[in-house]
Amino acid sequence: MSTLQITDLHVSVGDTPILRGVNLTLNSAEVHALMGPNGSGKSTLAYALAGHPGYTVTSGSVTLDGEEVVGMEADQRARKGLYLAFQYPVTIPGVKVADFLRHAVSNVRNPDRKEGGELISMREYRRELYERMDELSVDRAFARRYLNEGFSGGEKKRMEILQMAMLRPRFAFLDETDSGLDTDAVNVVSEGVAKLAAEQKMGVLIITHHDRLLHYNTPDHTHVMLGGKIVESGGADLAAELYTDGYAGVRDRHPEVA
């Protein structure tokens, strides 16, 4: 069992404070939904957790099984088992999907691996990659394509989930991984996340504006962010309520941050 504990986290972008004291504890095998209106700071939390250099932690702490994560490079966090599926996946021209993933998997499975160090065996890797691709309905031909180059929105998102399946993180943050997908793709991605979460006892923080992803991944906990703080927490019923009623009620209850 692993625990990711976020304590009184303050994060600035440039000189602007965005997160103003976030407290949140994730355990293995738990699904947390993070909701809140646009601009409330959800992506900022995801980026800060992943160690994006543009997001400065000005105070507070994030510990993974007691070890401080703030100050670690993004790459080191990935090796420790944190994974962020970005809202806008990047394109890396000239790097093939299969090569990118083999390097990423090698780094995560062998935390002491140096740049240029030994990669996981091609045979073992290929077998696992194809197995995962088949499960996630990703055409095997994608392995030979350049990462995200010319991929549709849905293809990029599937790649993110494939990457997650291969990396087997302890905690994954999904920032609107389902946005811009057609219904079939949302179902594949949602089922994929649920399966991985169950198989690998992964802790998941899901940020979404749709209820499909949460339909497959019923949240154990739902949190509402407003003005850079988590102002309310509850169970799956809170998520359902917010999808139906929107955020007016939450804003009314928290005029100090709304």
Residues that bind ligand ADP (CB under 6 A): 13, 16, 18, 36, 38-44, 54
Question: What separation in angstroms does the CA of 180 have from each of 42, 150, 156?
Answer: 18, 16, 11
Q: Which stretch binds Mg ion (CB under 5 A): 42-50, 64-72, 74-82, 98-106?
A: 42-50
Residue 190 binding: pick among Mg ion, ligand ADP, none (C-beta 5-8 Å cut-off by kind):
none
Nearest to 149 by CA among 89, 228, 78: 89
- Nearer Cβ to ligand ADP (104/257): 257
43 lies in the site for Mg ion, by CB under 5 A: yes
Of 43-51, 101-109, 184-192, 230-238: span binding Mg ion (CB under 5 A): 43-51
Q: 246 contacts which partner out of ligand ADP, Mg ion, none, CB within 5 to 8 A by kind?
A: none
Shortest reach from residue 196's CB to Mg ion, in Å: 13
Question: Between 51 and 81, whose beta carbon lies closer to ligand ADP?
Answer: 51
Among the candidate windows 41-49, 100-108, 119-127, 235-243, which touches Mg ion by CB under 5 A?
A: 41-49
Q: Which CB atom, from 43 or from 148, has the smaller least distance to ligand ADP?
A: 43
Q: How many CB atoms lie within 10 A of CB 69?
A: 21
Q: How far is the CB of 36 from ligand ADP (least distance, A)?
A: 6
User: Least distance to ligand ADP from the beta carbon of 178, Å?
Assistant: 14
Q: Which long-range contacts (CB under 8 A, 24 or more apart) does 50-55 make?
A: 50/74, 50/77, 50/82, 50/84, 50/173, 51/76, 51/77, 54/13, 55/11, 55/12, 55/13, 55/18
Tell me the closest approach of the beta carbon of residue 157 to Mg ion, in angstroms. Answer: 15
| Three-state DSSP class for residue 183 | helix
210, two tokens? 């749709």
Q: Where are the alpha helices (DSSP H) in the chain?
A: 42-50, 74-80, 97-109, 122-135, 153-167, 183-200, 212-216, 236-245, 248-253
Instruction: Give the interface with Mg ion as residue ranges (CB under 5 A).
Output: 42-43
